[in-house]
Homo-oligomer: A and B are copies of this chain.
């Protein structure tokens, strides 16, 4: 399944709903479940109450239902796939997509691709540290900084070096602690494209103080457009990854070139710690997958498009520089 969150009007700010993309249309899973229950004889109010418990606004809460929720969603997709005229279908024109997890439980972002890390040390004229091979290092990102697909990414107030990062992310679907590498795949609910937007000059200052990065990263993160369940991907270790800026290809790589696997990252992250449904692990930038490696930088108005085999395309427009 390709799970999405989409926006419906609500007091204060739009509220999220969970859907499943089928051939360019979006099945509103809560509405589909309510109709299905009504057809089975439930009172409409009771049907809506139960449907909301199965398909809450927050994707993290849905993921917390584990297989209970996934099986229900699959059954609804199957049941409504042949009924495209039913009222339970919508589309991004009517209800814009949000990030599939508008709010994650947490965001760990790794540095799994050796080529990217090597290039960074080369650029800074520093020797590549052997320590990097000993464990998959990560920092923690901002789990509520996700910019919806096709939305504008605001230019942070104090950067002259606005960058993208082409990454693959996996989303945890099941609570676990001290998870062994060989069982890690059981904990993955799905995959997304991740764009770890970066203010490089801000980031470089932060890491000089041996903490973070934080402000250099947390102003915005791209995630989406879908949360693709593992059964839809033939092999997460062989996905072509491409970044284009204003239609021009800047980056191309393959997920299989990562030194650390998601299984190893999950094992490392879960040592002495509990992973929860809705936790996100980012792979880090694929080799060549950011402007820093190319010494090319984003400008206001640029259209940044990331594409990964099977995971769709994730586009954002870079916002204007704020007035001083």
Contacts and interface: CB of A to CB of B under 8 A. Distances in A.
Given A106-B142, A140-B142, A144-B106, A272 B131 contact: no
**A-side interface mostly:** loop
Nearest to A199: B272
Interface centre among A139, A154, A209, A272 (most CB of B within 10 A): A272
A145 B212 contact: no
A132 B209 CA distance: 7
A158 B178 CA distance: 13
A215 B139 contact: no
A288 interface: no
Interface in A91-118: 105-106, 108, 111
Nearest to A276: B144
A154 B272 contact: yes
B215 A207 contact: no
Interface residues of A, number: 41
Given A157-B271, A207-B210, A219-B273, A140 B140 contact: yes
A214 B272 contact: no
Nearest to A137: B209
A261 to B, nearest CB: 18
Interface string A182-224: 0000000000000000000000011111111111001100000
A272 B106 contact: no
A246 interface: no
B131 A205 contact: yes
Interface string A141-165: 1111100000000101110000000
A227 B73 CA distance: 40
Stoichiometry, as copies per complex, reads 2
Contacts of A154: 272
Nearest to A203: B210
A138 interface: yes
A90 to B, nearest CB: 27
A244 interface: no
A274 interface: yes
Contacts of A208: 129, 131
B219 A272 contact: yes
Contacts of A140: 139-142, 212, 214
Contacts of A252: none
A276 B219 CA distance: 14
Interface string A263-282: 00000100111101000000
Given A140-B140, A140-B142, A142-B140, A271 B215 contact: yes
A157 to B, nearest CB: 6
A139 B214 contact: yes
A143 B140 CA distance: 11
Contact of A211 (B139, B144, B157): B139
10 contacts: A106-B142, A108-B214, A129-B208, A137-B212, A137-B214, A140-B212, A145-B273, A157-B272, A215-B272, A218-B273
